[in-house]
A and B are shown apart, each in its own frame.
Chain A
Amino acid sequence: MSSNTFLGMPSLPVFGHGNLNATEAFPKAAHRELGNEQLRANLGHATHTIRDKRLKVVAELPDWEDMRNAGAAIKDATMANLPALLEQFEANFTARGGVIHWARDAQEANEIVTALIRETGETEVVKVKSMATQEIGLNEYLEEQGIAAYETDLAELIVQLDHDKPSHILVPAIHKNRSQVREIFLREMPVVDPNLTDEPAKLAEAARKHLRKKFLSAKVAVSGANFGLADTGTLTVVESEGNGRMCLTLPETLITVMGIEKLLPTWEDLEVFMQLLPRSSTGERMNPYTSLWTGVTPGDGPQNVHLVMLDNGRTAALADEMGRTALNCIRCSACMNVCPVYERTGGHAYGSTYPGPIGAILSPLLTGIKSEENNSLPYASSLCGACYDACPVKINIPEILVHLRGEDVDSKRAKVKVPTQMDLMMKGAEWAFAKGSHLSLLEKGLPLGTLAAGRDKVIKKLPGIAGGWTQSRDIPAPPTQSFRQWWAKEHKPGAAVVPGSTNSPEGEQA
C-alpha cells in the first residue's frame, strides 16, 4: 500500500516490540542450552509424554482431518475479513458494557493497562496465564510502574518466582522438574512449610495456599483471551486449573489483552476449536475450565470490563501473503511438542516469547525479518515437517520457514554488498547445477576427493562453514567415477546390467 492518498493507512508496517525479539542468534543460544543435561532430560520426558497423549486422543476421532480443515478454513475466512469482524466485535462488546482500547504496539498496550490499573487506585493485580501479556512484557513494565502482578497459573507462578522466562507456550515450566520446583517454593514463597516435599500434591497445596490470599484480596485482574466471538462480543479463556476463573470472576475490574487475530466470526465456530485445542495441546478430550464472558453482567463478576486489542506487528504479518497463515495459530503448542529441535534446545534458545516451530515463523513475521535478533529463527529447523502434521489449523510451517529464509537472504543481499561464505557456496552450486555438462566437468575432480580422504577413506575435516558438518560427522571418500561417467562409458540401453558386473562404478560406500 504505497499510495499516499489512502488516508488512515500507515505507509510503513508497524512491527512488534517487547519480548518478541531474541537477544542473541539461535545457534549461539542453542549451543548453551544443549549443554544443560538436566534441561534436555526434563524436556525429552515432557514432550514425549504430551506427544503420546495427543496421538492417542487424535486417533479417536475419525474426522480429525476434516476438523483440521474446518479450523483452517474458519481462520482463513476470519483473516480475510478481519477489519469488518473487529468492528462487529467492538460494537457487540461495547453494547454489553465493555470498553475497548486499541493498542498499536507493546508500549501502547502497556501504557493503557497501567492507566486502567491506576484509575482503580490498586497496586496489586492477579493474572491469568496469557501469551499476549508475555509478548508485550507487561509484568516487567508494571513492576517499573510500582504495580505488582501475580501470576496465578501454577507453571507461570513457578517461572515468575524463579525470576525465569517461560520455556513453552502451554507448559511454561516444562524445563524444570519437581525437585527444582520445591527448591524455588522454599526459596521464594513468603510463607511455606519448611518440610515441603517434592510430591506433586504437596507442591500444588503450597501453591494453592500462596495464591488463595491473592484471589480473595485482588480488586483487579489481567487476562488474555483464547478467542473473541465477533457475533456476540464474547471473550473466552481456556485453562486447566480454575485459577483463571477465580481471576475472571472475583475482582471488580477485569482488563483483558488480546491479539487482534484471536477473533472467530461466530459462536458456532467455537465448537470446532473446543475440539481442536484441548486434544492438540494437553491431549485431553475436553478442556477442564472454559470461561466465557460478554461485557458486564450487573451484580455478577467484574463490573469494570476492559479489552485492549493488540496489533504489535499483526497487521504487518497479515500483509505477508505467504506468511499470514501463521496468525491462524491458536497457541496449542502441538508443534513444539513434536519438534526435534525444540526437544533438544528448549524454549529459551528461541529468545522470543514464542518458541518452537511456530515461534520460528511468528516472531520474525511480527518484528519484520530485518530485525537482526530474529533473522536466525527461520533457520532453526531441519524442515522435517512434523510441526505441519501436528498443527490443528494446518499452518504450513516448513513452507513459511523457507519463505522467510528467502526474505532474509534478499534483505541481506540488499544491505551488504560483500558476499558471505554461504552466498559464495550457493553461487558456486548454482553454476554447478545450471547444466548437466557443468556437473559432469566438476565430477572429473572426484578422484581428488578420494585422494584427500586418505587411507581410511573418510574425510574428517572440512574448511569454513562446511566445518560444521565435520564437527561430528565423517564424509565418505567419493567414488572415483560418477554415475554419469559410468553411464556414458558403459551403459548401453537395453543391455542387462546387474550390480556386481565388472562395469560397476568404483569406490567404497559406507
Chain B
Amino acid sequence: MKIALFATCIVDAMYPRTAQATVAILERLGHEVVFPEGQACCGQMHVNSGYFKEARTVVANHVEAFDTDDYDVAVAPSGSCVASVKHQHELVARRCGDTALEARAAVVGAKTYELSQLLTDVLGITNAAEQLGSYFPHKVTYHPSCHGMRLLRLEDRQLNLLASVGGIEMVELPEADQCCGFGGTFSMKNADVSSAMNADKAANICGTGAELCSGGDASCLLHIGGGLSRQGSDVGTLHFAEILASTLENPVSVTGEVKVKLAGSKR
C-alpha cells in the first residue's frame, strides 16, 4: 500500500522522531511511505481560535497537498489533526462559501486515518510484539486525548496496541478521560484554568508510578510533559508510535531524568 504521511506541524518541527517512528512502523510492514512536500498544518489552531479567514488559507494548502491519486491512504500520528481534517476542513470551506474546496476537503478527509486507526482497522495489527517486533521494557501509563477519544472514537485502539508491545508494563491512569487542559490557544487565553487541569493530570500520572505517559497527540504530550518538567518530575511523555517503533535490537531508551533517546542518535 502507498501511504502518504501527514507529519503535522508540531511533530514536524518539535517531535520529528514521532514521524520517523511512524515511517519505520509502516515500512517494517512493507508499505511505501510518501511525504507530500507541500504539506504544512491542518489549520486547527486557526479554526479553534475563530480565525476562519486565515484558516481557509491553511486548509486550502492541506487539501492541495493531499488531493492527489498518488497514494492509497493518508496517515497522521495525531488524533486532533486527523479530527480537524475530517471534521473541520469542510466546515471552514463552507463558512467561506468555497464549495469547490469543500468537495475536495471531503475527499481528502475520507482518505485520512489516525495512526492507530490505520494500524488496527486497515492493516490488521492486533499484536505489536509479534507483528511489528515492538519491544519496550518500561512501566507506562496512557492518556487518551480528547479529540481521538470523542471526535474519532478511537476507543482502545492506541491502548491495545501499546499493551501488546513486548516487555511493556501498562498501568491504568485514574480519570484518564479528563482533558489535560491544553486546548490550543485555550492554554494561553485561559492559562489559569488550563494550568489547574494540567496539574490534576500530572498528579494522576505521577500517582501511577509509571516511568512515562504515552498518548497519541504530540500537542497534549507537549502540554503534559511541560507541566511535569516544570514540577521537576522524572516522568516524561512519549508518543505511542515511538514505543511501537522500539525493538529489542534498536530500543528507545529511557534514562535518568526523562531523557528519551533513540539508541545511536548523536547525543
Which residues of A come within 8 Å of B, CB atoms? 26-27, 30-31, 34, 340-341, 344-345, 378-386, 388-389, 399, 402, 404-410, 422, 426-427, 429-430, 432-439, 442-443, 446, 458, 460, 465-469, 471-476, 478-479, 481-484, 486-487, 491, 493-494, 496-502, 504-510
Whether A473 contacts B23 in the complex (CB less than 8 A), given A405-B48, A500-B265, comes out as no
**Chain B hits for A389, CB < 8 A:** 150
* Known pairs A498-B28, A508-B259 / 19 extra A-B pairs, C-beta < 8 Å: A27-B189, A340-B181, A344-B197, A380-B190, A409-B49, A426-B45, A429-B54, A429-B58, A430-B51, A433-B40, A433-B61, A469-B188, A473-B195, A474-B229, A487-B35, A496-B28, A499-B24, A499-B246, A507-B267
**Complex: A409 Cα to B46 Cα, angstroms:** 11
The answer to whether B194 and A382 touch across the interface, beta carbons within 8 angstroms, is yes
Complex Cα spacing A505 to B23, Å:
13
Structural contact, B187 and A468, CB atoms closer than 8 A: yes
Residues 99-128 of chain B: 1 if any A CB is under 8 Å from the residue's CB, otherwise 0? 000000000000000000000000000000
Tell me if B78 is interfacial: C-beta within 8 Å of chain A.
no
Q: How far is the CA of A506 from the CA of B264 in the complex (A)?
A: 10
Q: A479-B14, A499-B21 are in contact. Are A383 and B146 (CB under 8 A)?
A: yes
Q: Are A472 and B20 in contact (CB under 8 A)?
A: no
- Output the least CB separation between A336 and chain B (Å): 14
0/1 interface trace, chain B 20-51, chain A, CB 8 Å (1 if under) = 11011001100011111111110101111111
Q: Are B226 and A501 in contact (CB under 8 A)?
A: no
B150 pairs with A474, CB closer than 8 A = no
List 9 A-B pairs, Cβ < 8 Å: A27-B190, A27-B193, A386-B146, A410-B50, A422-B49, A430-B54, A433-B58, A472-B227, A508-B267
- B187 and A469 contacting across the interface, CB-CB below 8 Å: yes
On chain A, the residues within 8 Å of B46 by CB distance are 426, 429-430
* A26 / chain B contacts, CB cutoff of 8 Å: 190
What A residues does B161 contact at CB under 8 A?
none
- Rounded to whole angstroms, the CA-CA distance of A303 and B133 in the bound complex is 80
Q: Which residues from chain B sit less than 8 Å from chain A, CB to CB?
A: 7, 9, 11-17, 19-21, 23-24, 27-28, 32-41, 43, 45-52, 54, 57-58, 61, 65, 91, 95, 146-147, 150-151, 177-179, 181-199, 222-223, 225-227, 229-230, 236-238, 242, 245-247, 249-252, 258-267
Instruction: Establish whether residues A476 and B20, one from each chain, have CB atoms under 8 Å apart when the complex forms.
Output: no
CB-defined contacts of A404 to chain B, threshold 8 Å: 50
CB pair A341–B20 under 8 Å, yes or no, is no
Instruction: Say whether B227 contacts A473, CB under 8 Å.
Output: yes
Which 3 residue pairs across A and B have the least CB separation, nearest first?
A: A382-B183, A405-B50, A468-B191
Residue of B nearest to A423 (CB): B51
Q: Is the CB of A384 within 8 A of B12?
A: no
**Which A residues are in CB contact (< 8 Å) with B193?**
27, 30, 34, 341, 344-345, 380
For residue A472, which residues in chain B have a CB less than 8 angstroms away from its CB? Answer: 191, 195, 198-199, 227, 230
Whether B146 lies near A30 (C-beta < 8 A) is no
* B188 x A466 contact (CB < 8 A): yes
| B20 touches which of A31, A466, A504 (Cβ 8 Å) | A504
Please count the residue pairs between chain A and chain B whose beta carbons lie under 8 angstroms apart in the complex.
Answer: 265
Nearest CB on B from A165, distance (A): 20
User: Are the C-beta atoms of B20 and A505 separated by less than 8 Å?
Assistant: yes
Q: Which of B95, B147, B183, B199 is most buried by chain A, counting CB atoms within 10 A of its CB?
A: B183
Chain A residues with CB under 8 Å of B227's CB are 472-473
The answer on a CB contact under 8 Å between B191 and A510 is no
A59 to B47 Cα, complex, angstroms: 34
Query: B95 touches which one: A345, A379, A406 (CB < 8 A)?
Result: A406
| Whole-angstrom distance between the Cβ of B134 and the nearest chain A Cβ | 11
Give CA–CA (A473, B13) in the complex, Å: 19
User: B230's contact among A468, A473, A487, A499, by CB below 8 Å, is which?
Assistant: A473
Within 8 Å CB of B151, what residues of A?
Answer: 385
Whole-angstrom CA separation of A467 from B191 in the bound complex: 9
Which residue of the partner chain A has the closest CB to B37? A436
| Bound-state Cα–Cα, A50 to B33, Å | 48
Minimal beta-carbon separation of B54 from chain A (angstroms): 4
Contacting pair A486 B15 (CB below 8 A): no
The distance in angstroms between the C-alpha atoms of A340 and B27, with both chains bound, is 40
The listed residue (B47, B184, B265) touching A506 by CB distance below 8 A is B265
Tell whether, in the assembled complex, residue B49 and residue A405 are in contact, meaning their CB atoms are under 8 Å apart: yes
Q: Do A506 and B186 touch (CB < 8 A)?
A: no
Nearest residue (CB) in A for B47 is A402
Asked if A468 meets B57 with Cβ closer than 8 Å, knowing A504-B20, A504-B264, A510-B237, the reply is: no
B225 surroundings in chain A (CB, below 8 A): 476, 510
Residues in chain B near residue A479, CB distance under 8 A: 14-17
A469 to B19, CA, bound (A): 25
Bound Cα distance from A479 to B12, whole angstroms: 10
| B40-A432 in contact (CB<8A) | yes
Contact partners of B47 in chain A: CB under 8 A: 402
User: Contact: B230 with A474, CB < 8 Å?
Assistant: yes
- B181 and A422: CB pair below 8 A? no
- Please determine whether A476 and B191 come into contact, CB atoms closer than 8 angstroms: no
Are A499 and B17 closer than 8 Å at their CB atoms? yes
Closest to B236 in A: A510
Q: Which residues of B contact A378 (CB under 8 A)?
A: 50
The smallest beta-carbon distance between B90 and chain A, in angstroms, is 12
Inter-chain contacts of A468 with B (CB < 8 A): 187-189, 191, 194
CB contacts (< 8 Å) of A443 on chain B: these are 12-13
Flag if A469 contacts B50 (CB, 8 Å). no
Q: Which residue of B lies closest to A478 (CB)?
A: B14
Chain A residues whose CB sits within 8 angstroms of the CB of B37 once the complex forms: 436, 484
Q: A478-B14, A504-B265 given as contacts; is B38 within 8 A of A436 (CB)?
A: yes
Nearest CB in chain A: distance from B140 CB, A? 15
Bound Cα distance A389, B16 (Å): 33
Residue of A nearest to B201 (CB): A340
Whether the Cβ atoms of B188 and A498 lie closer than 8 Å is no
CA–CA, A473 and B252, complex, Å: 25
Given that A30-B193, A382-B179, A487-B35 are contacting pairs, would A430 and B27 also be in contact in the complex, using a CB cutoff of 8 Å? no
What chain B residues lie within 8 Å of A422 (beta carbons)? 49, 185
B34 contact set on A, CB distance < 8 A: 493
Q: How far is the CB of B60 from chain A (nearest CB, A)?
A: 8
Interface contact A384-B150, CB-CB below 8 Å: yes
- Shortest CB distance A324–B (Å): 16
Q: Indicate the member of A443, A468, A471, A475 with the most B CB atoms within 10 Å.
A: A468
B242/A499 in contact, CB under 8 A:
yes
Query: In the bound complex, do residue B40 and residue A498 qualify as a contact, i.e. CB atoms below 8 Å apart?
Result: no
User: Complex: how many Å from CA A437 to CA B61?
Assistant: 11
In the complex, which residues of chain A have a beta carbon less than 8 angstroms from the beta carbon of B146?
382-386
Q: List B contacts of A406 (CB < 8 A).
A: 50-52, 95
